[in-house]
Amino acid sequence: MTLTATSTLPEVAIAVGAQLRRQGITAVLTGGACVSVYTDGTYVSKDADFVIQGTVQQTVLDGALAELGFVRQGDRYLHSDSPFYLEFPPGPLAIGADLAIRPAEVTIAGDVALALSPTDSCRDRLAAFYHWRDRQSLHLAVARHNAIDFDVVRAWSRTEGSLVEYDEFLREIGRSR
């Protein structure tokens, strides 16, 4: 896929993830870009965060992303035609204390990339709400637009010591329906 100024964040994120897969780099889309994918772009972020699984030499990552037009500047990758940038936060891939994350395959325009599942994307946003009291992260769109395993979210919330906050999340979802 050729990235342009009109490419959406979901298109950019999945194109990047697919490119990394083609180059043998296992990277999982997380954060706000993952929410954007699962809400068909209604949630907007400025960047796409990928957690790389395993070890990748910087020159290999730089080369793979250069093929899509991204250039590394410090800890970010910028594209001259896209307003979205890329970041690669350090691993391991985790949501709170949960390290047993199983990525999902997501397809957009024929490109296939790894991303958090809708349930894990929901938990990822809730982690910021639970641990940093970031109310902006009490984002309900993934839960409203996707099948979420609320039993998994509740059990995880219990292990995070955040059942009160989980109940608040459920109340907010109830209000939004």
96 and 36 inside one domain:
yes
105 and 73 inside one domain:
yes
- Side-by-side strand order, sheet with 111-115: 70-73, 76-79, 82-87, 47-53, 26-30, 111-115, 104-108
How many CB atoms are located within 10 Å of the residue 60 CB? 14
Nearest to 153, CA basis, from 170, 139, 136 = 170
pTM, rounded to two decimals: 0.93
Residue 3 lies in a domain: no
Q: How confident is the model at residue 106 (pLDDT cuts 50, 70, 90)?
A: very high
What distance separates the 2 farthest-apart alpha carbons in the chain?
Answer: 49
* The two structure tokens encoding residue 67: 């093929």
Separation CA 77–CA 152 (nearest Å) = 34
113 and 170 inside one domain:
no
103 and 53 inside one domain:
yes
> pLDDT (tens digit, 9 = 90+) per residue, 15-62?
999 999 999 999 999 999 999 999 988 888 999 999 999 999 999 999
Residue 4 lies in a domain: no
Look at the chain and report how many structural domains it folds into. Answer: 2
Q: What is the CATH number of the domain that holds 33?
A: 3.30.460.40
> pLDDT (tens digit, 9 = 90+) per residue, 130-151?
988 877 776 678 888 899 999 9
112 and 123 inside one domain:
no
Separation CA 26–CA 9 (nearest Å) = 20
Nearest to 120, CA basis, from 30, 47, 45, 43 = 30
- Coil, strand, or helix at residue 56? coil
